[in-house]
Amino acid sequence: MKRFTLLLIVALVATANICSAQSKKDNAEQVDRIMALFNEDKFDEGEFVIDSMRRLYPQNSDMLHLKALCHDRRDEFQKALACYDYAIENVSRKSYYGNDFLYLCRGMLRESYDSDYGAAIEDLTQAIELADKDNLWIVSRALDMRANCYYYCGEYHLAERDLMALLISEDEKISERAACKLCDLYINTENYEKAAMVANGLLEMECCYSKAYNTLAYTNFATDNVQLGIRYAFAMSITDVDQEYSDDLRWMVWRDAEYARGLLQEFIAGRLDNDIVYKYFTLAHVLNDYDTALSLIDVIEDDHDKNQVLYWRATFSANAGKYDDAIRYITELISNEDDAESILYLSSERCGYYRLAGRYEEAIKDAETLIEQYPDYAYGYYICGWCYELMGDDAKAMELYNRGIERDDSYAYIYLMRGVQYLKVGDKERANADFNRVLELDTEVKDGSARHYALHFLGRDAEAVEWMNQLISTAPYEIGMYYDAACLYARMGQIYESLDNLRIALYLGYKAKAHIENDDDLDPIRHTEAYKSLMNEYFN
């Protein structure tokens, strides 16, 4: 009822005003009022006014433009385009929006919806030619959009021409934007000398630091100056919050991780204050340099809640392979918690730390507590059974897997583990049933997937490798993905591929020495000199 009343009021006011909407001033007032409604997200009310006016003035180009905006909002491209076609034909001296603006809007519409770059370029060119040269907004917007269209058409010299025209604008914001787009244009067309020239110009102008450093990083990587590229990548990260965790940054610093880690220590030694420490903390995280991350927590801990600091210490200690410290921190954190869901999560984490440290009896004790307190939580049975399996007690492991599945039949990994147990006793039919159940449950490419193992056990190795590759592509710097790949390839008897992926996991910072030594997935590669050499290199 309230909405109907509001619409009625709007309609009444519109009706009262329509009759006087003959002068340019009155027409402008109508446009301003409708745009005010749009800005308040009252599109229905605004469109009601538009339709009311169009019934009396169907050729009003301003209302046609505003109607096009409504169609655009609903992704009705053809209807929006038709509005602009009709509006351009009917612009008058009383119109609020000139033809230059309408051509600009139609060009932008064509570029964004159907990628008709040729028609878009024609519209944008018309906008530029019709615009008053003092109307910087229309000219600059049209040049900017036309440069995009030329780029998409592969006419790079014309895109460069339009951006260069914007570069000399008296409006600093416009020239800065043009310089940034030129950086991208030159990088994408492999014109690294010009890219570096523009990037250095941005630095001299003391603006757009992140784009400038990003460009200089890419130009140096492209010309094999990797270490200088990493220095610029560090500078990019320090000046731009949005770049902190991007894959772009990871790709850059991992070009030479050893150098990058040393460079981080150099930066820390040179400057360590509250303004910069969080940037270094991020870089340490990106580099999986968890010892450095732990040392930086000492600097920032006073700025954060105690429990947050404990969680960081536990997580980074575990990632650094310092499981005794991780267990101590997370135990303190558990004692501070009173939220049942948080306690469940943290207790599961501690159980995992015990397992990775090879402290299976303590892991089992934690898992049994999880089972007792959360009897429908399949993970408790899974981790408990796995620890018994690692201790050589397959019968107990099978008992726990069965109990877990009885309580919760939606956890893929527990079916995988039970299927492996069935294989051990020669019951291939039941094993395959469990592996097929994994395929039913595990359909999403994400961390924690078990599908690739199930595919392997079903004899579908090509599909298993394809799934593993998809997992890695979603998180190319996720350590566990490469360890999983090492396990999968070892199971498949592909020794060299297994060792290659284990080497990558260790290089990226995988520290679970006890787990590597006890994981039967890797049994096929333990006899190799390459395996022994890797373990000596990274753990001795």
Domain that holds residue 230: 225-301
CA separation for the pair 290, 494 (Å, rounded):
31
pLDDT tens digits along 268-295: 998 777 778 888 988 998 898 999 999 9
Average pLDDT over residues 198-221: 92
Last residue of a domain, one of 281, 301, 321: 301
The answer to whether residue 25 scores a pLDDT higher than 80 is no
Structure-token match 């501690």, residue found = 350
In a domain, residue 534? The reply is yes
Given 301, 318, 342, the domain boundary residue is 301
Domain end among 301, 328, 352: 301
Alpha-carbon gap, residue 162 to 184, rounded angstroms: 14
Identity of residue 60: N
In terms of C-beta density within 10 A (0-12 exposed, 13-18 middle, 19 or more buried), how is residue 367 classed?
A: buried
In angstroms, rounded to a whole number, what is the distance separating the alpha carbons of residues 93 and 73? 28
Q: What is the pLDDT of residues 50-88, one digit of tens each?
A: 888 888 888 889 889 888 888 888 989 999 999 999 999
Give the model confidence (pLDDT) of 483-514 as tens digits.
Answer: 999 999 999 999 999 999 999 999 988 999 98
Give me the amino acid identity at 442. D
pLDDT, residue 35, reads 85
- Split into its structural domains, the chain has a count of 2
Section 131-135 average pLDDT: 76
Q: Tell whether the model's pLDDT for residue 129 goes beyond 50.
A: yes
**3-state DSSP percent of the chain in helix, strand and coil, to 5:** 80, 0, 20
Specify the pTM: 0.76
Considering the chain, what is the average pLDDT of its residues?
A: 89
- Yes or no: say if 145 and 114 are a contact pair by the CB < 8 Å rule: no
Q: Give the separation between CA 183 and CA 176, rounded to whole angstroms.
A: 11
Task: Kindly state whether residue 147 falls inside one of the protein's structural domains.
Answer: no
User: In the structure, what pLDDT confidence band is assigned to residue 135 with cuts at 50, 70 and 90?
Assistant: confident
Q: How far apart are CA 116 and CA 124, in angstroms?
A: 12
Task: Kindly state the tokens that stand for 302.
Answer: 């006073």
pLDDT on residue 190: 95
| pLDDT for the residue numbered 15 | 37
The string over 501-522, giving b where at least 16 C-beta atoms fall within 10 Å of a residue's C-beta and e elsewhere, is bbbbbbbbbbbbbbbbeebebb
pLDDT tops 80 at residue 203: yes
Structural domain contains residue 249 = yes
Q: Would you state the structure tokens that stand for residue 196, as one six-digit string?
A: 């570096």
Q: Which of 145, 151, 154, 148 is nearest to 126 (CA)?
A: 145
Looking at the domain assignment, is residue 261 inside a domain? yes
Where does the pLDDT of residue 453 fall: very low under 50, low under 70, confident under 90, or very high at 90 and above?
A: very high
CB atoms within 10 A of CB 435: 27
User: Considering the chain, what percentage of its residues have pLDDT values greater than 70?
Assistant: 94
pLDDT tens-digit map of 300-328: 888 889 999 999 999 999 999 999 999 99
409 in any annotated domain: no
Q: Which of 230-244, 386-400, 505-519 has the lowest mean pLDDT?
A: 230-244
pLDDT of 380 reads 94
Average pLDDT estimate for 139-145: 92
In a domain, 242, yes or no: yes
Phi, psi of 231 (to 5 degrees): -60, -45
Residue 55 domain-assigned?
no
Q: Does residue 489 form part of some domain?
A: yes
- pLDDT at residue 29, as a whole number: 81
Nearest-angstrom CA–CA distance, 25 and 20: 10
